[in-house]
Structure 1
């Protein structure tokens, strides 16, 4: 997320080691309900236990004039325990019907929790298909610090932004970053509008006064990184010199959009091969949300956020945060520290500003010392300044401790080690110390977990 975002997005923290809410039973045993949440102290009901989603097929129709969304979510998942019932997260919309493996399922709604009880228990290890039909006016969610996410209406359409809980506003699912899945999003809108989502455009047809777009994301994606932009955008598809498709949907600034291949090549030199099948951007300067967001393969830029440094930040997230996603929301510093350090590297390579100067400026900023980056005190702090600025300082201190050769090997090796997966702070520490062949306890204790600012930034 862009540094301009005020304070933090309200977010989830540590994912429980056992997320099913019960001991689980072997194949053939009596099923039990999956957990209605992942015991997250910030969002106890966010995410659900007992199953792992493999694929979302979302079929949507949107009417900008009324703001009404009609949807069908076809969800393929694997049971991780014997299930008599399971939950999905969905904010505000009305569920009309649900089936599991083609048979009607009982539906119970309580707030943002939808509980489904299939006609027969699911065995642990079963792959099952859930189809939910729903509709309504999707909600705009305001976080604790006042930032808006979810479904954001515009003059001619809408934009869906999901971090950390906004994706619950437009489709039912298991909305925690630890459960990544492939997506197919099919959207029907009035003729003359574009509908842009993640991945590749695999279908585009106009029938009468309606146009349908189908987007396919084959690589695993956390739900908060899914996006949908509907409106009168200028769309363009091109390719980088290495052959990666570039899909853009924008209202202005073609010069900066044209730099995406150049900046992606620079990022790949530092961070390793690009991890997704395509890249691009969605730019809507008319939408004032105060931030940019690293929506997978297609980062979003709102009013006042589309500049070169922020573009570098969001492109870096494709490696750090999107391909390697946080195991829990407490691990957000792993996303933002790398993306911020990418800005420092960019300023050095393109603006003649040494990384050390960026470090010194961050060190002098009192806001970066409000709390340790790996231990935000509340949900409202999870995207606070220390997660960005002090997190990047941790990386620069690591660079000084291990030397450039090892450090840049870590920059490339870390996203390769956990490509399309999830990782925690503990995973990162273990990986770094193995690569560096060193005990770096003092560095972590001072810069990552320490309460106080060191008296000497060079010490």
Structure 2
């Protein structure tokens, strides 16, 4: 037998108010954000608003030392939460207090704060760490590339795990301050605007700021000895391009291509609407890889992209991503078509503008290269699976779908779609399903079956027959005498794959 005490309601309310929010036990945040392609990527329980990274790097030894301060808001009561990170950690603090931490697998850093965190509260997390990123292997892979005079972090679908702790998934975008100290005579290139540069005791510190929401995989770092060119756009945006001093025979073609960044970006504003960020540029370091990547405001270009001469088309591709992929990011990695299909199609539009073959001619050429029994058609751009996420079909069949859409809805509606999408979803995330709904709304047509045929069926659709529509060339510049197509040039564009290496 026990006694039952009745507590007056007013007293009960006062007792509840007296219990601090942090006294709630909470639950552990999920170790993944829920992406079926990459279950370990991202984390649950919080949303990051800002990363402040203070780094020191020694190229001779590949030693990276860092202090990351992460500002976030909890989305549930948390007893524990994870960060995606692989280097050795020496200390973690949460809201100024030391926190316990432990490893789980290759990339999970489990953090247990001194007291549980209430839902909806601002949280600061400080992580001190050090290590040699090139020696860190996750699933047998490293995204950190050493160069003869430094290193580069540029990779998709992730690279952050090798150099800063994060919620490593495009669903959780944030702003960045990235401060990097390197030996005098060496430069550090990153995203956004260079806020300041100073030297002391043999070291030079570069302070970069990315002021718009940015996905972790779009955050880049390049350390080495660069020739740097600077300029401003007609709108006053700073332009920073950087070239390794040892690009060899590819150096001239790299410069001849990347130095046209401002021109290309200005043209893309006519296609996709206002440029979404506060800086512009690109960089080409001395790396062995052969891909390019749309790292936000400052794309990465392997020198191999210019092995056959100037390649402005790849600059078009990576800059188009600033709208399609960077400002509007995927909800999940299965939505990669929105990134790569539209970036590839922008190359076709550039060819059309330059009089080197229309988008329709390039679509016809690409379609003809793949007969009905080609495995190319078995890849579904709308959900290709992690093994085919960067398959050529995602790019080229994806672009064919866009040309077919252009023919179906007509140029006026089509170019309205191209501008409206990045305006409607600026700095956010969207899925293929969202795009289908959007296209139906803007066009006033039922398009679900159309997109299902082009994006999801593992068979060859009917060719995207030409519509009676004027070309982009006619819509963006005064009428000029017709020029003959240049098959060698536009076939090269059709065959050019800006396919990213990935884990």
* Same topology, TM > 0.5: yes
Following the alignment from structure 1 to structure 2, what is the Cα–Cα distance between the partners of residues 49 and 89? 11
Shift of residue 120, structure 1, vs aligned partner? 1.0
Q: Within 5 Å, which residues of 2 pair with 1:25-424?
A: 29-91=24-86, 93-111=87-105, 112-139=107-134, 150-251=143-244, 252-253=251-252, 254-284=255-285, 286-306=286-306, 307-366=311-370, 368-377=376-385, 379-424=386-431
Shift of residue 288 of structure 1? Answer: 1.6
Quote the Cα distance in structure 2 between the aligned partners of 1:48 and 1:222. Answer: 14
Q: How many correspondences in the alignment?
A: 429
* Larger helix percent: 2
Counterpart contact for 1:362–1:368, Cα < 8 Å: no
For the residues of structure 1 that align with 2:398 and 2:22, how far apart are their CA atoms?
44
Which ranges of 4 or more aligned residues in structure 1 deviate by more than 4 Å?
26-29, 140-144
Distance 1:143 1:390, change over 3 A: farther
Query: Structure 1: any 5+ residue segments left out of the alignment?
Result: 1-25
CA change 1:169–1:340 in 2 (3 A) is same
State the Cα distance separating 1:296 from its structure 2 match: 0.2
1:28, distance to aligned residue in structure 2 (A): 7.4
Preserved CA contact (<8 Å) 1:140 1:150: no
Q: Give the Å deviation of 1:155.
A: 0.2
- Cα separation, 2, equivalents of 1:441 and 1:40: 24
Say if 1:176 and 1:223, in contact at 8 Å, map to a contact too.
Answer: yes
1:80-120 residue CA offsets vs partner (Å, 9 max, x unmatched)? 001111000012x1010000000000011122110111111
Worse-superposed segment, 178-187 or 41-50: 41-50
In the alignment, the residues of structure 2 paired with residue 368 and residue 139 of structure 1 have an alpha-carbon distance, to the nearest angstrom, of: 34
**Aligned counterparts of 1:97 and 1:268: Cα–Cα separation in 2:** 45
Q: What is the TM-score of this pair, normalised by structure 2? A: 0.82
The equivalent residue for 2:9 is none
**Once superposed, what is the RMSD of the aligned Cα atoms?**
1.9
TM-score (norm 1): 0.90
Change in Cα spacing, 1:143 to 1:458, as seen in structure 2 (3 Å) is: farther
* Aligned residues of 1:27 and 1:125 also touching (Cα < 8 A): no
Residue equivalent to 1:5: none
Alignment partners' CA distance in 1, 2:136 and 2:439: 37
Matched position secondary structure for 2:143: strand
Q: Distance in 2 between matches of 1:159 and 1:213?
A: 15
Separation (CA, whole Å) in 1 of partners of 2:295 and 2:315: 12
> For the residues of structure 1 that align with 2:423 and 2:322, how far apart are their CA atoms?
12
8 Å Cα contact 1:58/1:73 also seen in 2: yes
Secondary structure of residue in 1 paired with 2:51: strand
Contact 2:191 2:296 (8 Å CA) reproduced? yes
The 2-side partners of 1:334 and 1:143 are apart by: 27
Q: How far apart, CA to CA, are the structure 2 residues paired with 1:140 and 1:355?
A: 44
Query: Which residue in 2 is equivalent to 1:14?
Result: none
Contact 2:144 / 2:152 at 8 angstroms: preserved in 1?
A: yes
Deviation at 1:236, TM superposition (A): 2.1
Residues 277 and 355 of structure 1, relative CA distance in 2, 3 Å threshold: same
* SS of alignment partner, residue 305 of structure 1: helix
Contact 2:228 2:242 in 1 (8 A): yes
Name the SS for the 1:59 alignment partner: strand
Q: 1:449 Cα deviation (Å)?
A: 1.3
Larger Rg over CA atoms: 2
String of CA shifts for 1:282-311, please: whole Å, max 9, x gaps.
112x31211000000000001221420000
Please say if residues 37 and 334 of structure 2, whose CA atoms lie closer than 8 Å, have aligned partners that are also in contact.
Answer: no
In structure 2, relative to structure 1, the CA distance for the partners of 1:330 and 1:142 (3 Å cut) is farther
Alpha-carbon deviations, 1:340-360, whole Å to 9, x = none?
Answer: 000000011114301111111
Note the C-alpha offset of 1:229: 0.4
Displacement of 1:149 in angstroms is: 5.6
Q: Which has the higher contact order (CA 8 A, sep 6+)?
A: 1
